[in-house]
Structure 1
Amino acid sequence: MVKKGILDILKGKFLVSGDAPKNWLFIIFASFLAAVMISSSHSADKKVHRIAALNEEVKELKNEFVDARSDLQQLKLESTITSTVADKGLFPSETPPQKIRVKSLKDSE
């Protein structure tokens, strides 16, 4: 009896028997669900790869930012500025700057 049921399934008799429309509807429904599941899985994989690529890009940009910031700090140092302008013939002053005080006309009255 079990052997006959297995043989009927293998031969596909359930697809041509009297209640075949119910079986066909179930097969179509199961196929649709399988297609949706496969599509969803591919979409999720694409998103995971996209996220990984963006994380790598963020790491590269952070490293580039740190390098640029350290270069900028080097350029802002007084010794770097002095050596850069010395090539153009400018040198730091030997005498310190003096404050200039301006008296307004109100103060003198």
Structure 2
Amino acid sequence: MAKNTFREPERIAKQKKQRRKIRLASWLNDFIGLDRLFGEDNSWPIRHIDRILWVTFLMIVYIGLNHNAERLVRRIQRTKLQVDELRSQATVLQADFNKSGKQSEISRRVAALGLAESQTPPHKIVVKSNEH
């Protein structure tokens, strides 16, 4: 008859994972000397150093994204101001162009050259088909 036992691979995997965390904490403790910083009896920061580093990384990413968003908003506002200025310049130029094409404006400009509008109406030229 078979005997019920615990599965060994899961327990071993859990121990290896825990050893890996302890190894990271012990390496940082050896490299930086965290036990001197926090005290030998206070091992909480050393045990949770991976979570502390993860939260620190997330905060740095958050701050970076916030700065990027603010810079983008400033750039958009600057571009909107430039677009408004260019639109107003285009409106003024279009109004000047439309005004310069009027007959009264053209006659005023050519008067300085000594040209004037004809007072007689234009003559119609008729060509007969046999004169051709």
Q: Normalised by the size of structure 2, how large is the TM-score?
A: 0.62
Residue from 13, 16, 41 that aligns with 2:66: 41
Residue 76 (structure 1) aligns with: 101
Q: Secondary structure at the match of 1:94?
A: coil
CA distance in 1, matches of 2:121, 2:45: 106
C-alpha change, 1:67 and 1:19, in structure 2 (3 Å) is: closer
CA displacement at 1:71 relative to structure 2? 1.1
Structure with the greater alpha carbon radius of gyration: 2
Q: Structure 1 stretches of 5 or more lacking a match?
A: 1-10
- What do residues 9-54 of structure 1 show as CA deviations (whole Å, max 9, x unaligned)? xx94699528824x11011100100000000000000110000001
| Higher helix content, 1 or 2 | 1
CA distance in 2, matches of 1:87, 1:93: 16
Report the number of matched residues: 95
Identical counterparts, % of pairs? 32
C-alpha change, 1:95 and 1:63, in structure 2 (3 Å) is: same
Q: Does 1:99 align with 2:130?
A: no
When the two chains are superposed, the root-mean-square deviation of aligned CA atoms in Å is 2.7
Q: Secondary structure at the match of 2:122?
A: coil
Q: Structure 2 stretches of 5 or more lacking a match?
A: 1-36
Check the 8 A contact 1:82/1:92 in 2, yes or no: yes
Q: Which has the higher contact order (CA 8 A, sep 6+)?
A: 2
CA distance in 1, matches of 2:52, 2:125: 95
C-alpha change, 1:14 and 1:50, in structure 2 (3 Å) is: farther
Q: Normalised by the size of structure 1, how large is the TM-score?
A: 0.74
Q: Secondary structure at the match of 1:96?
A: coil
